[in-house]
Homo-oligomer: A and B are copies of this chain.
Amino acid sequence: MKKLINDPASVVLEKLQGLALAHADLLKVHFDPVFVVRAAAPVMDKVGILSGGGSGHEPLHCGFVGVGMLDAACPGAIFTSPTPDQILEATKSIYHDAGVLYLVKNYTGDVLNFEMAAELAAEEGLTVAVELIDDDVSVEKGPATAGRRGVGTTVFAEKICGAAAEAGLNLPAVAALCRKVNGWSRSMGMALTSCTVPHVGKPTFELGAGEMEMGIGIHGEPGRRRVPLAMADEITEMLTLPILNDLPFKPGDAVIAMVNGMGGTPLGELYIVYRKLAEILHKHDITIARTLVGNYITALEMAGTSITLLKTDAELLKLWDAPVKTPALHWGM
């Protein structure tokens, strides 16, 4: 295991210490229990936006705390849900009469713990709403599974709900926007390599030199299928067509498109994927209105990529373009 870490047991703590030191103008870290809030929290007269989940997906979620996006983020251990008490304390630290919205990726532990935190908050008289993100088309819907995983759409939901809260929308309206974003957005990912959880010390799964995993999750969960290594254009097609067919996206649609790196893939390769994605969408008469190309929701040092497409309209575009100032997204201010 070759990593720039010290003790595997202190990886999350030290990442957060580094984050706090590097971005003291934007955020601060509370260490017991652990959560990240804006430097100026609580921000008055707006809905508080709170997200969180296992660590190892940086910059998600802590790197999206700041003006125009999250008010707070609760990082768990690597690939492990944060606990209800963490979430409750973070909620209190950002709480204001306008209430708080939890944006939760659809994983059993996350859903359980965020819902428990919401109950505890309600018992203390706090108004909290919970919205789930479940955009991963590589998981089939049905009674046999816990539903689809929440992946790339989380970035879009955090940006758009963050902007809506900043614009003064009330809690039901911001929650409704989250459902709109989740309803209109789909993702799929793939891996060229596995990743290694620090305290485990060996790769989560083995992948041969000539193999890749299509439909991978962001924790190295099994994908749809293990297939022979293919060229970037074929891989892009294998990711994009299931996304397009699932919503389905239609000719004339405009989208916000993200080509996301899994952590160990260099930026140049993501642009090669973007090139083919743009070609495919053009053929389907779908317009790309805005783009994100880079590492936004990762799986430690995994090599691979995911694509997320969000059908968009004037309302979503306006919120997307609104100013944001966080460690990982920064424009308009």
Q: Which among A6, A268, A269, A303 has the greatest number of chain B C-beta atoms within 10 A?
A: A268
A58 to B269, CA, bound (A): 10
- Shortest Cβ distance from residue A63 to the other chain B in the assembled complex, whole angstroms: 7
Contact A2 B232 (CB under 8 A): no
Interface residue stretch chosen among A114-122, A167-175, A294-302: A294-302
Binary interface encoding of chain A residues 137-174 relative to chain B, with 1 for a CB under 8 A from any of its CBs, else 0: 00000000000000000000000000000000000000
Check if A272 is an interface residue, CB within 8 A of chain B.
Answer: yes
A325 contacts across to B, CB distance below 8 A: 331
Residue A333, interface by CB 8 Å: yes
Taken together as a complex, chains A and B put the C-alpha atoms of A331 and B274 apart, in Å, by 23
Q: Which of B5, B232, B330 contacts A269 (CB 8 A)?
A: B5
A81 interface residue, CB < 8 Å from B?
Answer: no
A207-219 toward B: CB 8 Å interface, digit per residue (1/0)? 0010010000000
| Contact A21 B278, beta carbon cutoff 8 Å | yes
Interface size on A, residues (CB 8 A): 61
Asked whether, in the complex, the Cβ of B272 is within 8 Å of the Cβ of A192, the reply is: no
Binary flags per residue of A1-30, CB closer than 8 Å to B gives 1, else 0: 011111100010011111101110000000
Which of A59, A235, A264, A266 gathers most chain B CB within 10 Å? A266
Q: Are B301 and A4 in contact (CB under 8 A)?
A: no
Report the minimum CB–CB distance from A204 to chain B (whole Å): 14
A273 interface residue (CB < 8 Å to B): yes
Closest to A16 in B: B271
CB within 8 A of A15: which of B18, B263, B272? B272
Alpha-carbon distance between A269 and B11 when the two chains are bound, in angstroms: 8
Question: Complex Cα distance A273/B270, Å?
Answer: 25
What residues make up the interface of A, taking CB atoms closer than 8 Å to B? 2-7, 11, 14-19, 21-23, 55-56, 58-59, 63, 192-193, 209, 212, 229, 231-233, 235, 259, 263-275, 278, 288, 291, 293, 295, 298, 300-301, 303-305, 325, 327, 330-333
Beyond the given pairs A5-B232, A6-B272, A330-B331, 11 more chain A to chain B contacts, judged by CB atoms under 8 angstroms and listed by A's residue number, are A4-B270, A4-B305, A11-B272, A18-B272, A19-B271, A22-B274, A58-B271, A264-B303, A266-B301, A293-B327, A331-B333
